[in-house]
Structure 1
Amino acid sequence: MNAQSEKAKAAMAKENSQSDNEEVIAQLEKQVSIAVWIQFIGQIMEAFYLSKIMLVSEEVRENANERQILLGAWIQTAGQLFEGVGTTKQLYTDEEKSLTLEAQRVTNFGDWLQSVGVALEANAGTQIILEEIRKAEEEEFIP
């Protein structure tokens, strides 16, 4: 009987441990969702302030690379919004597979949009750097 009692205690301990892990995971998933929304707030602020710079500075407004950076920032903002919506849907969706899968698709679409926005910004940033290097080389050239 003692062996059965030990097995029962071990099984209960395993169940309790699994339940504790599920609670920890649920709490961490909520924190991830909050973090994604905080990122969205930061991203929308970045896009907003870049837009204001564009309105104020004619030099920035006339530069195609600067406009591409702004476009990239707004695309990232849209992607961050989709990721926030998808992450939150995943968190609050009951175990219905089709809804969870749809929420994952929304999150993934947001990730792809963010990637496109980052690529646009990175490309434009590289072009700006190359322009600055060319200008510096032209100024150094003394015939």
Structure 2
Amino acid sequence: MTVNAQTENTKAAKENSNSDNAEVLLQLEKQVSVAVWIQFIGQIMEAYYLSKIMLVSEEVRSDANERQILLGAWVQTAGQFLESIGTTKQILTDEEKLTLEAQEITNLGDWLQSLGLVLEANAGTQIILEEKQQELEPTKFIP
């Protein structure tokens, strides 16, 4: 009889533990969603201010690499927005089909962010190479 009572207590403890874990997991997922939205706010601010710089500076506006950096920032912003939407939808649904759709949205956002990052990194590399090339050019001697 005591073994049976101990087994029942162990089962009850495991069920409570699983319930507690599920609650902790849900809270952590909600915090991830908030963090992703905060990232989106930061990303949109970056793209916005880069756009403002582009409007103010003719030198920046006329440089194809600088325009590519701006494009990359906006592509990342779109991707971050989709990731935010997808992450939030995943938390708000228990339905398997809707969860899968939300995961697809999140994944598309990740891909867009990656594409934007590649655009920015490529343009940044080109800018660095151009600056190094200018340093290597001999200065002209004008008598």
Amino acid corresponding to residue 25 of structure 1 in structure 2: L
Q: Name the SS of the counterpart of 2:137 in structure 1.
A: helix
The structural deviation recorded for 1:31 is 0.3
Amino acid corresponding to residue 57 of structure 1 in structure 2: S
Q: TM-score, normalised by structure 2?
A: 0.96
Please name the residue that 1:44 is paired with: 44
Report the Cα distance in structure 2 between the residues aligned to 1:16 and 1:116, rounded to whole angstroms: 44
Report the Cα distance in structure 2 between the residues aligned to 1:6 and 1:111, rounded to whole angstroms: 49
Please name the residue that 1:117 is paired with: 116
Amino acid corresponding to residue 15 of structure 1 in structure 2: E
Gaps of 5+ in 1: none
Report the Cα distance in structure 2 between the residues aligned to 1:84 and 1:139, rounded to whole angstroms: 50
Gaps of 5+ in 2: none
Q: TM-score, normalised by structure 1?
A: 0.96
Amino acid corresponding to residue 26 of structure 1 in structure 2: L
Please name the residue that 2:59 is paired with: 59
The structural deviation recorded for 1:96 is 1.4
Amino acid corresponding to residue 85 of structure 1 in structure 2: I
Report the Cα distance in structure 2 between the residues aligned to 1:139 and 1:117, rounded to whole angstroms: 36
| Structure 2 residue 73 is the aligned partner of structure 1 residue 73 | yes
Structure 1 stretches (4+) deviating beyond 4 angstroms? 139-142
Report the Cα distance in structure 1 between the residues aligned to 2:138 and 2:79, rounded to whole angstroms: 41
Please name the residue that 1:102 is paired with: 101
Report the Cα distance in structure 1 between the residues aligned to 2:22 and 2:139, rounded to whole angstroms: 64
The structural deviation recorded for 1:141 is 8.7
